[in-house]
């Protein structure tokens, strides 16, 4: 494996230029810049809101300084409340090139697009000249998510992802699983894997918090598609979702935009503290992928039974298809056919090894199906970030 060295000691497996809007009014300009620079490995991200959001600010800072990011072109309308100069300073502090275009000062849409195009193309030449350095599996941060789950997800794809996680953790890598809203009913079992007694209590309370949040909303993390796919309850879905965490001890809990302090296995808590303020904790799988990436994930394992086509900006998404029938129908969108386990053509260990090897290959020039298809989905909305004190970031 090889990567690009960053000033904070991390290494990236991609060297992407982000074109980031700081309000929805600048989204179109960013999209046009990236369309005009289609051959420059530039990707669009951004925060659409106008009134202040500590969550949005923290997320944008974490994403713009992600190890897979080489440079950032920021685009502002000019009158939004997002603290864009703070974001510029956060990016500059990492040594990354950053440029801020303010549409109201640049002369409007066409002028802003032209300025953005010129900067992105100039920076691509600089980034392409940067050398790569050796990178080991222990330096990787891997996230995992399941979406479009069905009755096969917990039998094949999720436990196979868990086997890959166990191998990465054993090698010193960092692995992050989520989400607490899909672990309801598994909290006592999960707590037995806690590295410390304090963390054991925190794991249970974190899932209980998610259950209270969803009860207040009058809806849980369970869709019509899950039911059509053969799942009957959130607890049954949770058993499958829990399997993707593997069997390693759990070292801590992180929240969006927080980076684990050391290698090991971590739970990402996506549910805000306190009463609901902005609706459901995550509105779709892409939002959860972005939160995993905000914690430093170089790549994300996405297990699906019903089928999904989404990828992500910034970090590759490796699709693991749990259902052999879905794989036969959507093979172009999938990277691993875990449905072979149901057919008796492969074991959990064999599919887990395939997932592991494909993730390693991403650091040696390999690409995922979603990357090849051009998927660069991105979702970032408002969320309450009030946190309990003290938090339970990591356990020694």
Alpha helices (runs of H) in 138-260, residue ranges in sequence order? 157-170, 187-191, 197-217, 224-228, 234-243
Domain 2-133, classified CATH 3.40.50.2300, yes or no:
yes
User: What number of H helices and E strands is found in the chain?
Assistant: 14, 14
Rg of the chain over Cα atoms, rounded to whole angstroms, equals 20
pLDDT (0 to 100) of residue 281: 82
pLDDT band at 7 (very low <50, low <70, confident <90, very high): very high
Residue 174 Cα distances to 13, 138, 348, angstroms: 15, 7, 21
pLDDT (0 to 100) of residue 386: 61
pLDDT (0 to 100) of residue 73: 98
pLDDT (0 to 100) of residue 180: 85
Q: What is the maximum span of the chain, computed from C-alpha positions, in angstroms?
A: 63
The model's pTM is 0.94
Q: Select the more confidently predicted residue: 240 or 358.
A: 358
pLDDT (0 to 100) of residue 226: 63
pLDDT (0 to 100) of residue 279: 83
pLDDT band at 329 (very low <50, low <70, confident <90, very high): very high
Residue 68 has pLDDT above 50, yes or no: yes
**pLDDT (average), residues 15-41:** 97
In the chain, % of residues over pLDDT 90? 79
Q: Is the dihedral of CA 196, 202, 208, 210 positive or negative?
A: negative
141 neighbors 173 (Cβ within 8 angstroms): yes
Q: Select the more confidently predicted residue: 89 or 284.
A: 89
Alpha helices (runs of H) in the chain, residue ranges in sequence order? 27-36, 54-64, 84-92, 103-106, 109-128, 157-170, 187-191, 197-217, 224-228, 234-243, 285-294, 324-329, 348-362, 369-372
Calculate the CA 184 to chain-centre distance: 21
**How do residues 218-261 score in pLDDT, each as one tens digit?**
776 656 666 565 655 656 666 778 899 999 999 999 999 999 98
How does the average pLDDT of the chain come out, rounded?
A: 92
pLDDT (0 to 100) of residue 224: 61
- Select from 93, 120, 106 the least CA-distant residue to 35: 120
**How do residues 161-209 score in pLDDT, each as one tens digit?**
999 999 999 999 999 999 888 888 889 999 999 999 999 999 999 999 9
Tell me how far apart the alpha carbons of residues 383 and 396 are, in angstroms, rounded to a whole number: 29
Residue 61 Cα distances to 28, 46, 103, 278, 296, angstroms: 21, 11, 21, 21, 12
**How do residues 105-136 score in pLDDT, each as one tens digit?**
999 999 999 999 999 999 999 999 999 999 99
What the block records as the tokens of 46 is 């951004």
Count CB-CB contacts under 10 A for residue 351.
Answer: 26
pLDDT band at 147 (very low <50, low <70, confident <90, very high): confident
pLDDT band at 391 (very low <50, low <70, confident <90, very high): very low
């Amino acid at each position: 494996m090889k990567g690009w060295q960053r000033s904070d000691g991390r290494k990236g497996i991609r060297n992407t230029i982000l074109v980031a809007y700081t309000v929805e009014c600048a989204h179109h300009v960013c999209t046009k810049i990236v369309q005009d620079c289609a051959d420059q490995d530039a990707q669009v991200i951004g925060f659409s809101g106008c009134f202040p959001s500590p969550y949005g600010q923290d997320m944008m800072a974490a994403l713009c300084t992600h190890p897979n990011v080489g440079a950032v072109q920021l685009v502002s309308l000019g009158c939004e409340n997002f603290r864009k100069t703070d974001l510029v300073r956060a990016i500059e502090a990492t040594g990354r090139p950053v440029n801020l275009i303010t549409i109201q000062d640049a002369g409007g849409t066409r002028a802003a697009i032209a300025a953005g195009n010129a900067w992105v193309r100039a920076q691509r030449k600089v980034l392409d000249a940067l050398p790569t350095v050796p990178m080991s599996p222990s330096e990787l941060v891997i996230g995992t998510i399941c979406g479009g789950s069905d009755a096969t997800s917990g039998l094949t794809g999720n436990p196979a992802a868990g086997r890959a996680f166990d191998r990465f953790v054993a090698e010193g890598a960092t692995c992050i699983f989520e989400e607490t809203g899909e672990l309801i009913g598994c909290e006592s079992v999960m707590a037995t894997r806690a590295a410390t007694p304090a963390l054991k209590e925190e794991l249970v309370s974190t899932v209980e918090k998610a259950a209270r949040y969803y009860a207040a909303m009058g809806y849980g993390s369970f869709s019509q598609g899950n039911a059509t796919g053969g799942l009957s309850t959130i607890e049954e879905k949770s058993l499958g979702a829990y399997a993707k965490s593997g069997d390693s001890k759990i070292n801590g809990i992180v929240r969006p935009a927080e980076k684990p302090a050391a290698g090991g296995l971590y739970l990402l808590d996506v549910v805000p503290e306190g009463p609901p303020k902005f609706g459901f904790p995550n509105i779709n799988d892409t939002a959860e992928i972005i939160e995993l990436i905000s914690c430093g994930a170089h790549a994300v394992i996405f297990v699906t039974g019903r089928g999904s086509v989404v990828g992500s900006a910034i970090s590759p998404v490796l699709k693991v298809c749990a259902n052999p029938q879905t794989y036969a129908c959507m093979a172009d969108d999938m990277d691993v056919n875990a449905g072979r386990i149901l057919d008796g053509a492969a074991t959990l260990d064999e599919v887990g090894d395939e997932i592991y090897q494909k993730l390693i290959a991403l650091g040696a020039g390999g690409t995922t199906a979603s990357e090849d298809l051009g998927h660069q989905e991105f979702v970032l909305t408002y969320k309450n970030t009030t946190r309990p004190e003290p938090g339970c970031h990591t356990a020694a």
